[in-house]
Chains A and B, each alone.
Chain A
Amino acid sequence: MDSRERGDLLKENKKLQKSLEKVSLQNAELLMLIDFLSTLLVTTDIEKITYIIVSHIRKVVGGRVIKFVRKEPKADKYAYYIVKDKNIKKVFLNRGQLGKDCFFMYCNKLYISYEDKSFIAIPMKYEGENIGAIIIEEFDNKTLKNQIIKLIEVYSLISGIIIKNCILTAQFEIEKKVILEQNRKISEDLQYAQKIQEYLLPRGEHHFDNYYFCCNHIQAQYLGGDFYDVFQFNDNKIIFYIADVSGNGVSSALFTLFLKQAVRGIANSFNGLPIYPSKILEKLHIRFNDFIVEEELYIGILIGVLDTEKHQAVLCNGGHNVEPIHIKISEKKVLSYKLEGLPINNWFKDLKFPYEDKSIYLDKNDRFILLTDGATDFKGRGNNTLGLEEIKKVLYKNMSLDCDMQFGGLLKHINVLNTENTIKDDIAFLCLRRKP
């Protein structure tokens, strides 16, 4: 090898060495970046993230004093850190308290000052939103290469995304706490409301002359829309009804209150006059129309006036969707009556359908049962609906049992079919029996 060839080889060698240095530098930067990212990924704690960002940028640029301002999860609040040597000072600021150091948060690009007091200001953004800024003071500006500046820009881009993510996570946690607290309060209120509704919807027995009434219910939700009531109108007339306010929840429960007051009030207005269930429903319809409610809210009600001397029950249906059931003990039959009628609603102001009364005779020991659709629409195994005919079969089987036991028998049957251990809709039950 001659001297010229040796010179070329040396030149080539130097070139390669330079490239190697460059690659090794890029490799080091890449490793730092990976290290930065992997550290950031282990936490969503905004404080930890802040310290990770500060320490990494300090590692890259150096500098004795680092100031860092960033948004807090709370609106218009900012955290301001001053890191000097090994000391860290943190203060919370409102938007109006942001000083001149924080100005760089609103800059779009990295800013470097090489004057006597050298500093670098690195704004952090997320989709145009000003997230924060780092200001590094007292650094060696001779060592600041373009490569480092580019690296810092990448850091600032990543930091903006990460801090925004932390802010959103923290905001989500704050909102979650608020919602959970509100939910707890609403649940408590609903439980109280349920107790009040239980009081208004008593379970148990009523005795009027030679008649015995039994009322019971089970509620699927805290507040239900099922309702019943039994009260004496005069010496020989008892008014009873079962109703289902569409839907459930507070509005439906409040309408059951309206129903109780309204039906009793309307009945009082017939004092000394002949009373018919159809007339009660007509008046109830008028009263209901005082409310401006959505079409989804309406009342299905089946009402009866029982004459305890003539043993005659006059019935009228206002859209209640379960046929009343008559257990004729002497004939050993379980019948149901198809009664039609428009629910109590505000659907069509211009349409009027008269309510129709139907009279039935109750023999000794006969039972007469009113139910809500929680029972008929109950879905058991195979998603099959229980249905009225199946209920009639259960009642037929338990024909000799008294009213309370009949309800117990029906619930037992439902429980056997129930695969979910919960019922989805309320079940209300009203049974009357003529005493022997």
Chain B
Amino acid sequence: MLVEALTQGKMKLINVFGEVGFENHSEFKESMLRNIQGDESIIIVDMKNLTYLNSMGLGVIVKAYSESKKQGKELVLSSLQDNIKKLFTITKLGRIISIYKSKEEAIELLSKQDVNI
């Protein structure tokens, strides 16, 4: 599992690679919580290269989402693989956290929003 982040204006793009399971969910949590810090008002977590997310990993996403919300930021997800998308559908989390087909779509649509970008 690898988490890398880059900033584009007021947006932060977090790319997650590999698998999040029992062995590395703590590392994932640490990386996510560290990466949501900063001045960016929108955080896009791109999961194009995330192949597996276990239940605790899902909890980490929720934690990152709540923490972002507390800081007045918007955390969204993009490019979810089918197995992970299913997890968000079953748990109804997909109705709470915005999910975009791709990071490009997320960037385009969120840029149009009336936020201070």
Contacts and interface: CB of A to CB of B under 8 A. Distances in A.
A and B physically associate: yes
A377 B21 CA distance: 11
Nearest to B89: A340
Interface stretch (A60-68, A289-297, A409-417): A289-297
A34 to B, nearest CB: 46
Nearest to B57: A296
Contacts of A347: 62, 66
A319 interface: yes
Contacts of B87: 321
Interface in B20-41: 21-22, 25, 29
Interface in B58-117: 58-60, 62-63, 66, 83, 86-87, 89-93, 95-96
B30 to A, nearest CB: 12
A247 B60 contact: no
Contacts of A317: 90
Nearest to A343: B91
A340 B66 contact: no
Contacts of B58: 246
Contacts of B89: 340
A357 interface: no
B59 A348 contact: no
A342 interface: yes
A345 B92 CA distance: 12
Contact of B55 (A246, A294, A348, A424): A246
A425 interface: yes
A247 B22 contact: yes
B92 A296 contact: no
B68 to A, nearest CB: 12
Mostly, the B contact residues are helix
Interface in A99-142: none
Determine which residue in A248, A297, A321 has the highest number of CB atoms from chain B within 10 A of its CB, and name it.
Answer: A321
Nearest to B64: A295
Nearest to A299: B55
Contact of A377 (B54, B60, B90): B54
Nearest to B94: A340
Contacts of A373: 54-55
Given A300-B55, A385-B83, A353 B95 contact: yes
B112 to A, nearest CB: 26
B66 A342 contact: no
A309 to B, nearest CB: 31
Contact of B91 (A319, A338, A425): A319
19 contacts: A246-B56, A247-B55, A294-B59, A295-B62, A296-B29, A297-B59, A298-B55, A300-B55, A317-B90, A319-B90, A340-B92, A342-B92, A343-B91, A347-B66, A348-B96, A353-B92, A373-B54, A385-B83, A425-B22
Interface of A: 244, 246-248, 294-298, 300, 317, 319-321, 338-343, 345, 347-348, 351, 353, 373, 377, 385, 424-425
Given A339-B90, A377-B54, 13 more contacts: A246-B56, A295-B59, A295-B60, A295-B63, A296-B29, A296-B63, A319-B91, A321-B91, A341-B90, A342-B92, A348-B96, A385-B52, A385-B83
